């Protein structure tokens, strides 16, 4: 996706460890995503903010805090494995947050790939309607008799997209870049006979799409009744109806491809723009202010509540402006942002990832942390493309960026500022205490003991653990008084193993990480049967024999 948008000049490979979003040493060595990474790309005159999240259950908190700031999501499934347990878990989390989703069935080139089977699992196990935006196209290899995945049938626009992989291979034997695409219009009168079956599949799939959307949108019904031909229903009308249905979570658009062979990625990017919501298409966020945090005395709280009895839970009024997005308390210049991730950069120090919900966030300005009530001077603002920062002049509503120059912001904090005035005194007390929905931290599952190798290593260990806990709140550090041990708890064995590698290898901490000692006591819970002396003597004689 980064390559096709023009952001990079070479497609990365997970096996070679040169991808943009998997930049940590552990991610390159293991070939998996460990922490979420943000990128921003242009596509079809739109800007797409992407957060790449891990798929492993041990790093579920990375998914939780990313979902918290997203407007839409793409669920990537394995065409061979289908819907897995972690897929169901993340799908439920997205559903609870009301996030519209697109499903992308990947690895269609592998042996055992099942498109129809995976779609049935999406419907049955994930409990959603499925709308087939495109379906796979296979060509038989005459020499081997094997069916090769070479493209997709675009159901909405009635086209067959074939990727000419063989002509894309360069002289340096690099993989095809997926830019040589042949578009075949399935409505042509002189259509080649080899594409007859593809046309039949397109008609069948288009009929299912239109009949499904007819139950949702009367505009589809009117468009169909004009011609009573499924192939002549306007594609633009179908797209608009499907967009509305997706945003309202009535259905889930289904696409397929093979990312390894660079087949089907561009249609997915088109689908993100066409069907997922923009920041002005989603409901406004719920913002609550705390009257006690506004400096009011408790004796005035009752009086204040009576005067504002029409405000449920003291919510600040929020509305969506079609031009600038979310407006809080009727002030277009009031900016509210949510800090959802903190990382440590070797040169820039702590970097706080924020999602701007309203107004404009300016660099070198003063923001109010509504959790602590403190005024914080921030530094530069950045857009991150993996680990590569790009400095920007400001961040507007709907964007995801990075704040630098401060260590006083934690995951889940709401930041309030004013886009015009740099004086925080211009912000009302109620606005200064406004809080966005917090980020839920799941309880840890596995624990290990951790202690410095020598007394001299204690201070460095404490400093590094403090930094790691700030970056990853799903880790928890406790002290067991009875065992005399520091206990580090996390979401799983892999989660704790990655943390250990970072402490020992990256931060060069001398620490011993082992098993947790379980303290226990033995006591008599009930009296035993009485034993006579003669019985004891008989038992001893029996044993000696």
Question: Is residue 301 over pLDDT 50?
Answer: no
pLDDT for the residue numbered 257: 95
Residue 178 CA neighbour count, 13 Å, CB half:
21
pLDDT for the residue numbered 305: 45
CA dist 1 to 271, 313, 496, 517, Å?
A: 13, 42, 32, 48
pLDDT tier for residue 138 given thresholds of 50, 70 and 90: very high
- Residue pLDDT, tens place only, 210-220: 999 999 999 99
Backbone CA torsion sign across 373, 430, 437, 376: negative
pLDDT tier for residue 519 given thresholds of 50, 70 and 90: low
Residue 39 burial (C-beta neighbours within 10 Å; 0-12, 13-18, 19+): buried
- What percent of the chain has a predicted confidence (pLDDT) above 70? 88
352 and 38 Cβ atoms separated by less than 8 Å = no
Three-state DSSP at 65 gives helix
* Range ranked top by mean pLDDT from 120-129, 282-291, 303-312: 120-129
- Residue pLDDT, tens place only, 462-495: 999 999 999 999 999 998 887 778 889 988 888 8
pLDDT for the residue numbered 356: 94
pLDDT for the residue numbered 178: 87
357 and 416 Cβ atoms separated by less than 8 Å = no
- 443 vs 254, higher pLDDT: 254
3-state helix, strand, coil in the chain (%, to 5): 30, 30, 40
- 106 vs 513, higher pLDDT: 106
CA dist 306 to 301, 314, 373, Å?
A: 9, 11, 25
Question: Is residue 543 over pLDDT 90?
Answer: no
- Residue pLDDT, tens place only, 375-397: 999 999 998 887 788 899 999 99
pLDDT for the residue numbered 14: 72
CA distance 197 to 205: 12
Neighbours of 180 (CB within 10 A): 14
- 522 vs 214, higher pLDDT: 214
Neighbours of 368 (CB within 10 A): 21
CA distance 96 to 127: 13
Question: Is residue 169 over pLDDT 70?
Answer: no
- Residue pLDDT, tens place only, 389-440: 889 999 999 999 999 989 899 999 999 998 776 555 667 788 888 888 888 8
CA dist 421 to 75, 257, 377, Å?
A: 41, 49, 14
Residue 412 burial (C-beta neighbours within 10 Å; 0-12, 13-18, 19+): buried
Query: Average pLDDT, stretch 519-541?
Result: 66
Query: Average pLDDT, stretch 326-350?
Result: 87
* Beta-bridge partner residues of 151: 137, 162
- Residue pLDDT, tens place only, 181-210: 999 999 887 888 888 999 999 999 999 999
pLDDT for the residue numbered 424: 59
pLDDT tier for residue 516 given thresholds of 50, 70 and 90: low
pLDDT tier for residue 540 given thresholds of 50, 70 and 90: very low
Question: In the 3-class helix/strand/coil scheme, how is 4-48 assigned residue by residue?
Answer: CCCCCCCCCCCCCCCCCCCCCHHHHHHCCCCCCEEEEEEECCEEE
**Domains identified in the chain and CATH numbers:** 96-105+125-275 (3.40.50.300), 288-435 (2.40.30.10), 446-514 (3.30.70.870)
- Residue pLDDT, tens place only, 102-132: 999 999 999 999 999 999 999 999 999 999 9
Query: Average pLDDT, stretch 128-147?
Result: 90
Query: Average pLDDT, stretch 64-87?
Result: 93
């Amino acid at each position: 996706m980064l390559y096709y948008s023009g952001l990079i000049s070479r497609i990365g490979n997970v096996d070679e460890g040169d991808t943009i979003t998997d930049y940590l040493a552990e991610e390159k060595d293991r070939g998996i995503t460990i922490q979420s990474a943000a990128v921003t790309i242009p596509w079809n005159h739109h800007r797409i903010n992407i957060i790449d999240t891990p798929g492993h259950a041990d790093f579920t908190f990375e998914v939780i805090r990313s979902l918290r700031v997203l407007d839409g999501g793409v669920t990537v499934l394995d065409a061979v494995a289908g819907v897995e347990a972690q897929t169901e878990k993340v799908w439920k989390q997205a559903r609870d947050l009301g996030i519209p989703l697109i499903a992308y069935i990947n690895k269609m080139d592998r042996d055992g790939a099942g498109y129809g089977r995976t779609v049935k699992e999406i419907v049955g196990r994930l409990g959603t309607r499925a709308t087939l935006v495109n379906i796979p196209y296979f060509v038989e290899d005459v020499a081997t008799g094997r069916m090769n995945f070479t493209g997709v049938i675009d159901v909405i626009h009635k086209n067959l997209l074939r990727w000419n992989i063989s002509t894309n291979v360069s002289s340096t034997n690099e993989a095809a870049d997926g830019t040589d695409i042949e578009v075949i219009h399935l409505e042509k009168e002189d259509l080649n006979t080899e594409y007859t079956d593809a046309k039949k599949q397109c008609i069948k799939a288009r009929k299912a799409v239109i009949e499904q959307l007819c139950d949702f949108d009367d505009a589809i019904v009117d468009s169909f009744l004009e011609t009573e031909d499924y192939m002549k229903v306007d594609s633009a009308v179908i797209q608009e109806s499907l967009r509305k249905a997706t945003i309202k979570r009535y259905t889930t658009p289904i696409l397929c491809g093979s990312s390894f062979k660079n087949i089907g990625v561009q249609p997915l990017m088109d689908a993100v723009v066409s069907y997922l919501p923009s920041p002005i298409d989603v409901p406004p966020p719920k913002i609550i202010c705390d009257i006690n945090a506004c400096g009011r005395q408790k004796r005035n709280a009752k009086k204040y509540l009576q005067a504002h009895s029409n405000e449920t839970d003291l919510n600040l009024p929020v509305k969506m402006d079609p031009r600038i997005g979310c407006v809080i308390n009727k002030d277009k210049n009031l900016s509210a942002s949510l800090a959802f991730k903190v990382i440590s950069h070797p040169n820039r120090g702590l970097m706080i990832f924020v999602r701007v919900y309203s107004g404009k966030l300016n660099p070198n300005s003063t923001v109010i942390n509504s959790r602590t009530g403190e005024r914080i001077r921030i530094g530069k603002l950045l857009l991150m493309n993996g680990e590569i920062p790009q400095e920007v002049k400001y961040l507007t509503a709907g964007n995801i960026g990075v704040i630098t120059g401060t260590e006083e912001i934690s995951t889940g904090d709401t930041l309030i500022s004013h886009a015009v005035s740099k004086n925080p005194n211009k912000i009302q007390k109620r606005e200064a205490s406004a809080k966005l929905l917090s980020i839920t931290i799941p309880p840890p599952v596995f624990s290990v003991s951790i202690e410095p190798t020598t007394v001299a290593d204690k201070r460095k260990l404490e400093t590094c653990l403090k930094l790691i806990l700030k970056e990853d709140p799903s880790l928890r550090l406790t002290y067991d008084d009875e065992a005399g041990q520091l206990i580090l708890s996390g979401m799983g064995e892999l989660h704790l193993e990655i943390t250990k590698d970072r402490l020992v290898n990256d931060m060069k901490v001398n620490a011993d990480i082992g098993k947790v000692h379980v303290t226990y006591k033995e006591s008599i819970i009930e009296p035993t049967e009485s034993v006579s002396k003669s019985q004891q003597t008989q038992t001893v004689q029996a044993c000696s024999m």
